[in-house]
Amino acid sequence: MSEASGETLISEGDDVLLFLDPKRTYLVRARPGERFHTHRGFIQLDDVLGKRFGDKVSTNLGFHFFLLKPNIYDYLGKASRATQIVYLKDNALIVAYSGVGPGSRVIEAGTGSGALTSVLAHYVRPGGRVYSYDVRAEFQEKARRNLVRAGVSEFVELKVGDAVEGFAERGVDAVVLDLATPWLVVPRAHEALRGGGRFVSFSPTVEQVVKTVSALNDDFVGVETVECISRRFKVKEGETRPETLMVGHTGYITHARKVFKE
């Protein structure tokens, strides 16, 4: 990128989010000589170079796309708007309950596609580190590509391993779980956390929550489970109302703090 009059100009290799409307966005890398095809015609990527983020560009069919600089949630959500929204609220709350920020050391299990990993990595930069475990090596390959694309791979150590067997790290600030059986990992999280460190677990079902809370009650305090319901509001003079269809449930977030009860 280069700067001019306070604005960043798009240069070769920059990631650009092409925005038609909230449901139709594309993530592309600016490269000279290439064309990017949309359902509204193609964009000559040479037309993108040298423009400001925030400017618009036309397809050969005359449709306008705005050029946006992707943020961490754009990288995660580019495939699906519905998914983006859901994950934004849960990821945002998981980050908040974990207490992590720049410089934090945090363990995550499992890695999955690396969505939450990316968000955690975004916030622990530049001095922190995410240790992300998954038993499925093939998932981590996908996650690695997503982390590289989002520009946060240098802050993450991807580790193939079963969280139930324990973590290599000690004294971490937070352990964040998105696993089918989080309750089995509670003692392992306790080992790895520093005193007062945060445990956060995301689970879709009530039974998972009940077992996890039961396991936490021994060696943690401040155990709390919440669900966050995010509701879009359609705002237009004379037609203002909550949207008809919504995602009613994604999962429960359980969080707690490690103590030494001995």
Q: Considering only residues 211 through 230, tell me which ones interact with its own copies, judged by CB under 8 A.
A: 213-214, 221-222, 224-230
Amino acid symbol at 168 = A
Interface stretch with its own copies, choices 42-50, 97-105, 134-142, 158-166 (CB under 8 A): 97-105
In this chain, which of 21, 33, 62, 138 binds its own copies, going by CB under 8 A?
A: 21
Give the tokens for residue 120: 């955690």
Residue 245 CB partners (closer than 8 Å, separation 6+): none
For the CA atoms of 127, 131, 132, 138, the dihedral, rounded to the nearest 10 degrees, stands at 100
In this structure, the chain runs to a length of 262
In this chain, which of 15, 34, 47, 55 binds its own copies, going by CB under 8 A?
A: 55
Interface stretch with its own copies, choices 39-47, 87-95, 134-142, 156-164 (CB under 8 A): 87-95
43 binds its own copies (CB under 8 A): no
Interface stretch with its own copies, choices 35-43, 131-139, 143-151, 250-258 (CB under 8 A): 250-258
Query: In the complex, what is the shortest distance from the CB of residue 141 to its own copies, in angstroms, rounded to a whole number?
Result: 26
Positions in 103-132 near its own copies (CB under 8 A): 103, 122-123, 125-127
Identify which of 163, 171, 173 has the alpha carbon closest to the alpha carbon of residue 212.
Answer: 163
Query: In this structure, what are the phi and psi dihedrals at residue 248, rounded to the nearest 5 degrees?
Result: -85, -25
Query: In this structure, what are the phi and psi dihedrals at residue 227, rounded to the nearest 5 degrees?
Result: -125, 145
33 binds its own copies (CB under 8 A): no
Comparison of 107 and 140: residue with beta carbon closer to its own copies: 107
Triad 95, 97, 99: Cα angle to 5°: 70
Interface stretch with its own copies, choices 18-26, 31-39, 131-139, 140-148 (CB under 8 A): 18-26
Identify which of 136, 138, 143 has the alpha carbon closest to the alpha carbon of residue 163.
Answer: 136
Binding-residue total with its own copies (CB under 8 A): 87
Query: In the complex, what is the shortest distance from the CB of residue 91 to its own copies, in angstroms, rounded to a whole number?
Result: 7
Positions in 146-205 near its own copies (CB under 8 A): 170-171, 194-198, 204-205
Identify which of 163, 213, 210 has the alpha carbon closest to the alpha carbon of residue 191.
Answer: 163
Comparison of 32 and 103: residue with beta carbon closer to its own copies: 103
Residue 138 CB partners (closer than 8 Å, separation 6+): none
32 binds its own copies (CB under 8 A): no
Q: Is the dihedral of CA 203, 208, 209, 214 positive or negative?
A: negative
Query: In the complex, what is the shortest distance from the CB of residue 153 to its own copies, in angstroms, rounded to a whole number?
Result: 16
